[in-house]
Chains A and B, each alone.
Chain A
Amino acid sequence: MMRAVPFINAIISPATKTQRAAAGGRLRVAAHLQSIAIGSVIPLAVLGLWSWAVALHLMRSQILPAPITVWQTGIDLLRGGDLFAALAVSLQRVVVGLLIGGTLGMIAGIAMGRSRTIDAYLGPTIRTICQIPTIAWLPVFMLIFGIGEELKVAIIAKAAFLPLLLNSFAGMRVAPARFHEVADVLVLNAWQRLRLVTIPAALPLLAAGLRLALSNAWHVLIVVEMLASAAGIGHMMAWSRTLFQLDVVFVTIAVIGATGWLMDAGMRWAERRLMPWNVPG
């Protein structure tokens, strides 16, 4: 949902820039290891408390399974392929919904960004409707689409629509006036201007919109799958909760977190690799 820039930086590059610049290779590795050690104090403490609580039977084992049980379950689910099957279903829904909603959002955003008339007609209505959070639309969508596959795709499309609309809208208008002045000086034609000014200026924004859309879509999908689904990682979690298999619940929570993180990190990495001209800050 929100960007954790400082937190993520703290993980990826724990030492400050000056420290890194000053330190040589071995020192850098040592600093890195030190950071990892410091960062894992709290998780290890939690793990210790958890094992201690289990060992003393502070809570019933259905409610608080032992860490080792959770680990075993995780391995079993991975080996048995259940986890991947559920994850595949969920990811497929995200991709389809993202394609539909994202494309529509991008088309609307580009149209509104290029033409002030279209913006004047459509903009206020779309912006007003989008003020209501996606989760609140869920009951309406359930009445309209039932609880089948259409529901998931529609709600993900809705979640992905707004970020891409707003960002492509801004992307169309973001190129600084100076760039256009330079283009004027260089006497670029329309195609060259599009290729050299408009698209490079808009792409980083589009990528940011896509990343936001992906994270929204993932969060919303989990809710939909918990409510109304017969497959997917959210369903797996809700179902094992019903069966009081809390070890599976722990595993799915970890998988949901890890998947969300991986998608975000992957998008960031792709952004950096594909758009080296976009140096933030």
Chain B
Amino acid sequence: MMRQSVGVRVDWRSLALPAACAVAWVVASATGWWNPHLLVPPKQLAGGLIDSVGNPDFWLAVGTSVLRLGIGWTIGSLAGVLLGIIVGCSRLAERFVAPSLNSVRQVALFAWIPLLTAWFGDGETAKVILIAVAAFFPAALNTEIGCREAPAALIEVGRVFEFGYWARVRRIVLPSARPSIAAGLQIALTSAWIGTIGAEYLIDQGDGLGVFLSSARMDNRMDIVLVCIVTLGLIGYLLSTLLRVSFAKGAPLRGAALADDCRRCTARATRCGKIVCRRRLRNPRARKRFV
């Protein structure tokens, strides 16, 4: 990631550690001095990979999870953006909604699962709601901040043009909030993907990558567990890249503001919630991850 922004130059020193681990892995599994169930021999991992790739159930599970993610993310982030716009554009709405929203947000995401399964059963509804909740908060928060942080200079220009309230919102606030909303949608996607896997894994009913993972763990198949984990990492990466590229096609996201400390470059969120992250300003492709 760090090197991509500079070019395709590879620092060979970075390969030393993975190479050493790979050698240790091969030697350890060849001599068998560690539990082969945990330290899967390379051959078995390759076998697990081939098994999974050749297994239609695996692809069905992946497809189901992605579909679920799509539905939940769409619902959650639409609701989040709508509420974010309302709260971000109106001080009164903020005073009504913000305290409740903030208290609810404090509850760890997966703590909702017992309640959701009790109300909606172990089926699709509970999972999709959880995914929507996971997507909702990042989308709402970033939209709200984006709307609130419309540059004062632009607002003043609006005043010069004697814009009314709606004209101001539509022609100044929303356009200037766009990068922030896009960033919020990206974070929401990552968060929703974690929510998807977690929901499937915790509820452990029906199908999906999380359920597949859970049953591989039950069968003590470390090779398949590893294949699943790499797959879900890759899918998360691909989806978020896809989203970023499509946003970048629509309009370049320069200096998107996120309502969090930036994890990649550790810039701190300022008091207003906006991060001043030089890395992100320079390289809009710098992304962030949660949990």
* Residues in A lying within 8 Å of B, measured CB to CB: 1-11, 14, 35, 38-43, 46, 59, 63-64, 117, 120-125, 127, 130-140, 142-144, 159, 162-163, 166-167, 169-171, 204-205, 208-209, 212, 216, 218-220, 222-223, 226-227, 234, 237-238, 240-241, 244, 246, 249-250, 252-254, 256-258, 260-261, 264, 280-281
Indicate whether B98 reaches chain A with its CB closer than 8 angstroms: yes
Q: Are A5 and B214 in contact (CB under 8 A)?
A: no
Cβ of B145: which chain A residues have Cβ within 8 Å of it?
6
B141 CB to closest chain A CB (Å) equals: 6
Closest to B264 in A: A166
Closest to B11 in A: A120
Cβ of B108: which chain A residues have Cβ within 8 Å of it?
218-219, 222-223, 256-257, 260
Closest to B117 in A: A241
B92, B216, B273, B289, most chain A CB atoms within 10 A: B273
Within 8 A of A (CB), among B134-153: 137-138, 141, 144-145, 148
Question: Digit string of B272-286 for contact with A (CB within 8 Å is 1, else 0)?
Answer: 110000000000000
Closest 10 CB pairs of A and B: A241-B114, A39-B99, A170-B266, A7-B102, A5-B273, A124-B14, A257-B107, A281-B270, A281-B271, A257-B106
> How many A-B pairs fall under 8 Å by CB?
227
Question: Digit string of B113-127 for contact with A (CB within 8 Å is 1, else 0)?
Answer: 111011100000000
Indicate whether B168 reaches chain A with its CB closer than 8 angstroms: no
Closest to A5 in B: B273
Closest to B265 in A: A170
Closest to A6 in B: B273
Q: Are A131 and B233 in contact (CB under 8 A)?
A: yes
Q: Are B269 and A5 in contact (CB under 8 A)?
A: yes
Q: Which of B2, B115, B213, B237 contacts A127 (CB 8 A)?
A: B2
Given contacts A131-B233, A208-B266, 18 further A-B contacts (CB under 8 A): A5-B259, A6-B145, A6-B259, A38-B92, A132-B230, A135-B194, A136-B233, A138-B201, A139-B228, A140-B226, A167-B266, A208-B261, A226-B202, A227-B202, A237-B111, A238-B114, A257-B107, A281-B270
Q: Are B229 and A258 in contact (CB under 8 A)?
A: no
Cβ of A250: which chain B residues have Cβ within 8 Å of it?
115
Cβ of B268: which chain A residues have Cβ within 8 Å of it?
204-205, 208, 280
Q: Are B289 and A131 in contact (CB under 8 A)?
A: yes
List, sorted by A's number, 9 A–B pairs whose CB atoms are closer than 8 Å: A7-B99, A11-B99, A43-B99, A59-B119, A120-B14, A124-B11, A139-B217, A139-B228, A241-B118
CA distance A190 to B102 in the complex (A): 45
Cβ of A130: which chain B residues have Cβ within 8 Å of it?
289
Q: Are B95 and A14 in contact (CB under 8 A)?
A: yes
Indicate whether B174 reaches chain A with its CB closer than 8 angstroms: no
A206 CB to closest chain B CB (Å) equals: 10
Cβ of A256: which chain B residues have Cβ within 8 Å of it?
107-108, 111
CA distance A10 to B98 in the complex (A): 7
Q: Are B14 and A6 in contact (CB under 8 A)?
A: no
CA distance A163 to B262 in the complex (A): 10
B82 CB to closest chain A CB (Å) equals: 16
Closest to B144 in A: A6
Cβ of A123: which chain B residues have Cβ within 8 Å of it?
2, 14
Closest to A143 in B: B222
Q: Are B118 and A261 in contact (CB under 8 A)?
A: no
Cβ of B187: which chain A residues have Cβ within 8 Å of it?
2
Q: Which of A5, A9, A59, A159 contacts B291 (CB 8 A)?
A: A159
Q: A223-B202, A257-B107 are in contact. Are A139 and B214 (CB under 8 A)?
A: yes
CA distance A254 to B191 in the complex (A): 22
CA distance A4 to B269 in the complex (A): 10
Q: Are B118 and A249 in contact (CB under 8 A)?
A: yes
Q: Are A121 and B14 in contact (CB under 8 A)?
A: yes
A220 CB to closest chain B CB (Å) equals: 7
Closest to B237 in A: A131
Indicate whether B24 reaches chain A with its CB closer than 8 angstroms: no
CA distance A209 to B264 in the complex (A): 12
B72 CB to closest chain A CB (Å) equals: 16
Cβ of B222: which chain A residues have Cβ within 8 Å of it?
140, 143
CA distance A240 to B148 in the complex (A): 42
CA distance A134 to B290 in the complex (A): 9
Q: Are B94 and A10 in contact (CB under 8 A)?
A: yes
Cβ of B37: which chain A residues have Cβ within 8 Å of it?
143
Q: A136-B232, A280-B271 are in contact. Are A244 and B260 (CB under 8 A)?
A: no
CA distance A39 to B232 in the complex (A): 40
Q: Are B97 and A42 in contact (CB under 8 A)?
A: yes
Cβ of A264: which chain B residues have Cβ within 8 Å of it?
106
A13 CB to closest chain B CB (Å) equals: 11
Cβ of A252: which chain B residues have Cβ within 8 Å of it?
111
Q: A38-B96, A63-B119, A143-B38 are in contact. Are A212 and B261 (CB under 8 A)?
A: yes
Cβ of B55: which chain A residues have Cβ within 8 Å of it?
none
Indicate whether B112 reaches chain A with its CB closer than 8 angstroms: yes
